[in-house]
Structure 1
């Protein structure tokens, strides 16, 4: 995996580190704690997990430049994990996994086509990934084992105010960074690339901020937000979560939002994936939707992803809405998403695989060009009250949407 970014991407990551550090410092000044915050410095050859275990709420774990081979479980509130920079701090799977030829193979996750269906939970086999678990993370609650950094609260007690910034997480069997039962998690300036399933993912969590990260070449999605991966349930209100300013490339999907509500996806660069963004609802109550997707660049997502047991082949899909309601897609630049799959095109409304129509969605004021077979494709014949207004485009299916 290449970790050489262009100057524009380097600027984003560097800016994220400065901004995140300043914000973290302001937060530490403004928010009183029961003790003076401590800084736990970790150098190569030392354990990040041991530093986390020694921390108290409000502390900082400062990771110095180098390569670290471990999985890290975070369950301390208001903890900041601060790397020296995404190109200088590398977190890889433990040596046991590397010795066996890399991260263990994970099972196929619950991908978009299973929205609402009685599906296998998104929990790859523990046995398959046993080599990717250090003693500190044997009871890792982040969906499964094989996670780089797991941020975990418990049911009824969400872990609050954790920040992760300025490092690379790569080569893990499931997630680079995963979170469950968290409140106001911030992931900033992180390079989450080359992981078997997702770069950055969360479930059962609210008010997360994923900003200025780089997620590339992950097996499923660069960024993944879901209500829950373990059971059927209605959509979760994310209480204003935000995915903003990220660079997402070379994944199967750039962003997947599954069975969630009340969040924004803003100003991301999503290019070179099989599909740019998937927004997924189903028949449960409440339904997924009530989201805003605005000011993103979604271009040249022409990578081919072969069919599997959950999903037909995907290629050339820009922004796909399937089975969702009251979502606004506006002011995005959507170009050159070309393919021949069922979901190919610029903005595509597609009836969910469990038959739930899109309802009350708004697609407006987008700049669309060079998408094929269409810039705007409303393929949900059962959809109701979906509107297309003010878009700049050439071809729509059916005609008249441009």
Structure 2
């Protein structure tokens, strides 16, 4: 058994995550007409009562649509390359409008950031360089922010809460940056990154997507990475969900994986969520790998998980819903304590080439991984 110790990096990074909340609410702007910024970009300013969608429709690539503090009923669609949708922090709130008949509202989402695809899901037009920052999206029946077929999308300093499915959903997108966001009390994942929500098939190569310094709590799953590759999830604080971080694959080719989960603080994800199709009940899971290959889990602090689900434990390897095993997972340099029934659990009897090294923990299944 390796003596328990606390890695320095995840706790330092997590402290920075928590402190970042205090700096995320700038002073509200008064309503004003569009103006040219010093950079040459046009800033379209919207006050409560104004049309956010009209401003987005008028924006050209490189423009900014800036919302003053206040409530904005209705869903909006950002579909122009290089446009920034910016609020004034927590005081700028997008909420549902029952009278909204736009396509984003009909899909149940708050903010839609969309390219286009054909009937088989293949990209037709990729939306590039969009930014959503410094606002709150709350109470929508599906996703707070729903993005699909994008490249270099940035979502930062956004609060997504009380949405029916995902807080932030990013599908079929590459080189995404999701940083310094708060996702809480959403019906499914706080942050969800996938090829498609409603399709199987091979994993998407995300070309370096980064999910970092987010705070994820009160969701079914804090962070779910499903059928994706080439991604890093680091320095996130994941607590108080049913499950913490889920990396999910199946028998599609290419396999999900070739990604890194590092330097996160994952603690006490002990809410109970009942079974749903293709997923057993979830309670007390820190980091789960299922049906993946070549995933590295390193430098994380994973504590205080407890549950009766077959996926309960600190770091758990588990076969996918279609029986696909994990291959060549590397679980190394993590600090684990107080996870029941085990800090490290390899419950994947068909898994191959999986390695557990230099982890500080007390109990493993089977014995010998600590």
Whether TM-score is above 0.5 comes out as yes
Determine the structure 1 residue equivalent to 2:64: 60
Determine the structure 1 residue equivalent to 2:53: 49
Q: State whether residues 17 and 237 of structure 2, in contact with CA within 8 Å, keep that contact through their aligned partners in structure 1.
A: no
Q: State whether residues 152 and 176 of structure 2, in contact with CA within 8 Å, keep that contact through their aligned partners in structure 1.
A: yes
> Structure 1, residues 146-199: CA drift from partner, whole Å, max 9, x if none?
100000012232111101011100000100001011001000000001000000
**1:317-396 aligned within 5 A:** 317-396=285-364
1:294 to 258, 262, 265: 262
Q: Distance in 2 between the 1:260 and 1:8 partners?
A: 27
Q: Provide TM-score, normalisation by structure 1.
A: 0.82
Unaligned runs of 5+ residues in structure 1 are 1-6, 19-27, 31-35, 97-133
**1:153-232 aligned within 5 A:** 153-154=115-116, 155-232=123-200
> Structure 1, residues 119-139: CA drift from partner, whole Å, max 9, x if none?
xxxxxxxxxxxxxxx34x32x
Q: Distance in 1 between the 2:197 and 2:112 partners?
A: 15
> Structure 1, residues 89-141: CA drift from partner, whole Å, max 9, x if none?
01101143xxxxxxxxxxxxxxxxxxxxxxxxxxxxxxxxxxxxx34x32x4x
Q: State whether residues 16 and 211 of structure 1, in contact with CA within 8 Å, keep that contact through their aligned partners in structure 2.
A: no
> Structure 1, residues 304-335: CA drift from partner, whole Å, max 9, x if none?
11223332211000000000000000000000
Determine the structure 2 residue equivalent to 1:260: 228
Q: Are positions 1:90 and 2:52 aligned together?
A: no
Shift of residue 353, structure 1, vs aligned partner: 1.5
Q: Distance in 2 between the 1:55 and 1:75 partners?
A: 10
Q: Distance in 2 between the 1:72 and 1:181 partners?
A: 17
State the number of aligned residues.
340
Q: State whether residues 324 and 359 of structure 1, in contact with CA within 8 Å, keep that contact through their aligned partners in structure 2.
A: yes
Q: Distance in 1 between the 2:276 and 2:296 partners?
A: 30
Q: State whether residues 14 and 189 of structure 1, in contact with CA within 8 Å, keep that contact through their aligned partners in structure 2.
A: no
- Partner SS for 1:198: coil
- Partner SS for 1:156: strand
Q: Distance in 2 between the 1:55 and 1:14 partners?
A: 30
Change in Cα spacing, 1:207 to 1:394, as seen in structure 2 (3 Å) is same
Q: Distance in 1 between the 2:206 and 2:317 partners?
A: 23
Q: Distance in 1 between the 2:266 and 2:24 partners?
A: 21
Q: State whether residues 46 and 68 of structure 2, in contact with CA within 8 Å, keep that contact through their aligned partners in structure 1.
A: yes
Q: Distance in 1 between the 2:111 and 2:22 partners?
A: 21
> Structure 1, residues 22-76: CA drift from partner, whole Å, max 9, x if none?
xxxxxx989xxxxx31100010111111110111110000000000111001101
Q: Distance in 2 between the 1:262 and 1:183 partners?
A: 14
Determine the structure 2 residue equivalent to 1:70: 74
Change in Cα spacing, 1:230 to 1:314, as seen in structure 2 (3 Å) is closer
Q: Provide TM-score, normalisation by structure 2.
A: 0.89
Q: Distance in 1 between the 2:127 and 2:246 partners?
A: 27
> Structure 1, residues 335-358: CA drift from partner, whole Å, max 9, x if none?
001111000000000011211110
Please tell me the root mean square deviation across aligned C-alpha atoms, in Å.
Answer: 1.8
